Amino acid sequence: MKIILLSGGSGKRLWPLSNNSRSKQFLRVLTTPDGGKESMIQRVARQIREAGLTDEIVVATGANQLDAIGIQLGKDTAVVTEPERRDTFPAIALACSYLRSQGTSPDEPVIVMPCDSYTENTYFSTIGLMAKAVSEGVADLVLMGVRPTYPSAKYGYIVPAATPVDGEPTPVSRFTEKPEVAEAERLIAEGALWNGGVFAFRLGYLNEISDRYMPQASFETLRANYGKLPKISFDYEVVEKADSVAVIPYAGDWRDLGTWNTLTDELSDLTHGNVITDACTSTYVINELEIPVVCIGAKDFVVAASPDGILVSERKLSENLKHLVGDLGKRPMYEERRWGQYKVIDMVEFPDGYCALTKQLTINAGCALSYQRHNCRDEVWTIINGEGELVLDGERRTVSRGDVITITRGQMHTLRATTPLTFIEVQQGTNLVEEDIERFPFDW
């Protein structure tokens, strides 16, 4: 079997720890069985591995998550990036096209699942049963049905044709999307299950559906013409149109840690970082800044500080964030990249529109920036730790603490760290956008 992990998501609901480049599934805030820290996506990948389901995971995501996935799941993880953001059907179709291009049999069961559900191990044995049901031809499409614990109006409901038994496939009668609470109560009495967003099917089944849009297109062709695929969800395009659908119930823990309120329930420590609390109750304070956070007399709050901003929220009201931070995250102020990490430590715009942006960057030992140039900004780098090799307009030299490198617009440059290398970068110009970068191959 193959697993397609859907890794999407904006950085809004767990702002300021998440941002446009660091979505919630990449926050290393959960505790591993051995006491370490892991992110939601790392937890799901670990659970898949521990359940012995498969070693073959394909992550379907956007280009801005490529670095984060490589860092968290390993550089060799297969990642299929959408050339542009559309919806779940085209994203899954593209990943399935990739699997076909890799020679996967059309009869191979494929599981599509979210990368951020917080579940227990029986979730993964249920997934194993779903793949088995597909292999045995029980239905074209097998869904996971999560046993409802309350009549939620937030979820989609799967209504089975007969009373469902845990671990066994039952034919599906119909779907109901986000019903009113009273209707949800009636559905649950009928044996309805929540749609957990986990789907199983034969690879060929999905390839055939996408072939209707672009007959027998290769992966490269499909990717090049991605914009021609309809902007539609997998639920609407595939699930609701399928003739033969079965559901297997899952009765265990199933949570979305996508808001501060739900995430903090799973945190093992009340504070993280440079924090002092006094007279606080059920209050979580997470500080990724160097400066201290002092929190006094808060009850049921979450306080989070990062280079992107500062959140102070009553826990239950933290869902409001989604509507509030829409325009805040103009650019990420902290990013983990394949070569290391950076944070923006200062940003200033002068009355004439001229801007300066100062970063602290660390390149991991053995890693290098891309060979690049900027057309609208000059940069000054001051090395404050470590040693490395600089290439500036083709000339190589070693650099270390105290060295100052001035890079004017148009100059080609790259830097490779021999030991962990930290430097302060001052960018300046009239138009400081992240997109002002051209990358070129470089042979070290």
Q: What is the closest distance, in whole angstroms, from the C-beta atom of residue 320 to a second copy in the complex?
A: 5
* Among residues 318, 339, 361, 388, the one that binds a second copy under rule CB under 8 A: 318
Does residue 78 touch a second copy according to CB under 8 A? no
Listed ranges 47-55, 116-124, 196-204, 374-382: which one lies at the site for a second copy (CB under 8 A): 374-382
267 in Cβ contact with 257 (< 8 Å): no
SS3 string, 9-27, reads CCCCCCCCCCCCCCCHHHC
Contact map string, positions 161 to 200, toward a second copy, x by CB under 8 A: ----------------------------------------
Q: What character string, x for contact with a second copy (CB under 8 A) and - otherwise, covers 391-410?
A: ----------xx-x-x----
CA distance 133 to 3: 15
Neighbours of 61 (CB within 10 A): 25
Taking contact as CB under 8 A, which single stretch among the options 127-135, 222-230, 249-257, 422-430 is the one that binds a second copy?
422-430
Other beta carbons within 10 angstroms of residue 163's beta carbon come to 8
- 208 part of the interface to a second copy, by CB under 8 A: no
Query: Does the footprint of a second copy cover residue 354 (CB under 8 A)?
Result: yes
- Residue 24 in tokens: 């919630």
Nearer to a second copy, 183 or 319 (CB): 319
Contact at 8 Å (CB) between 28 and 103? no
In the block, residue with structure tokens 């409802």: 148
Query: Least distance (Å) from a second copy to the CB of residue 414?
Result: 20
Sheet holding 438-440, edge to edge: 395-400, 387-392, 413-417, 371-373, 438-440
Residues with Cβ within 8 Å of 144's Cβ and at least 6 positions away in sequence, in order, are 123, 126, 127, 130, 196, 197, 198, 199, 247, 248, 250
Element (H, E) at 56: none
Of 5 and 295, the one with the shorter C-beta distance to a second copy is 295
Pick out residues in 319-338 that bind a second copy (CB under 8 A). 320-321, 324-325, 328, 333
For residue 253, with 0-12 CB atoms within 10 Å meaning exposed, 13-18 middle and 19 or more buried, which class applies?
middle
CB of 372 to a second copy, least distance (A): 19
Which of residues 51, 78, 159, 289 is near a second copy by CB under 8 A? 289
Stretch that binds a second copy, among 19-27, 171-179, 380-388, 389-397 (CB under 8 A): 380-388
> Which of 16, 164 has the CB closer to a second copy?
16
Stretch that binds a second copy, among 2-10, 195-203, 223-231, 351-359 (CB under 8 A): 351-359
Q: Which residues contact 190 (CB under 8 A, 6 or more apart)?
A: 159
Stretch that binds a second copy, among 78-86, 96-104, 243-251, 341-349 (CB under 8 A): 341-349
Please confirm whether the linkage preceding 16 is cis (ω < 30° from 0).
yes
Measure the CA–CA gap between 246 and 74, rounded to whole angstroms. 34
Rule CB under 8 A: say whether 297 interacts with a second copy.
yes
**Minimum Å distance from CB 123 to a second copy?**
32
Identify the residue among 171, 204, 252, 309 touching a second copy (CB under 8 A): 309
Query: Hey, which residues between 4 and 43 contact a second copy (CB under 8 A)?
Result: 15-16
With CB under 8 A as the contact rule, which of the stretches 70-78, 195-203, 208-216, 340-348 interacts with a second copy? 340-348
3-state secondary structure of 186: helix
In the list 107, 153, 350, 398, the residue contacting a second copy (rule: CB under 8 A) is 350
Which pairs count as long-range contacts for 328-333, CB under 8 Å and 24+ apart, including other chains? 328/15, 329/11, 329/12, 329/15, 329/19, 329/20, 331/20, 331/434, 332/11, 332/19, 332/20, 332/21, 332/22, 332/308, 333/19, 333/306, 333/307, 333/308, 333/309
Residue 227 binds to a second copy (criterion: CB under 8 A): no
Task: Check binding of 292 to a second copy (CB under 8 A).
Answer: yes
- Count of residues in contact with a second copy, rule CB under 8 A: 59
Indicate the DSSP class of residue 341. E
Binding span for a second copy by CB under 8 A among 91-99, 132-140, 144-152, 278-286: 278-286
Residue 176 and residue 397: Cα distance in Å, rounded? 65
The least distance separating a second copy from the CB of residue 339, rounded to whole angstroms, comes to 18
Residues that bind a second copy (CB under 8 A): 15-16, 276, 278-279, 285, 287, 289-298, 301, 303, 305, 307-314, 316-318, 320-321, 324-325, 328, 333, 345-348, 350, 354, 356, 358, 360, 378, 380, 382, 384-385, 401-402, 404, 406, 422, 424, 426, 428
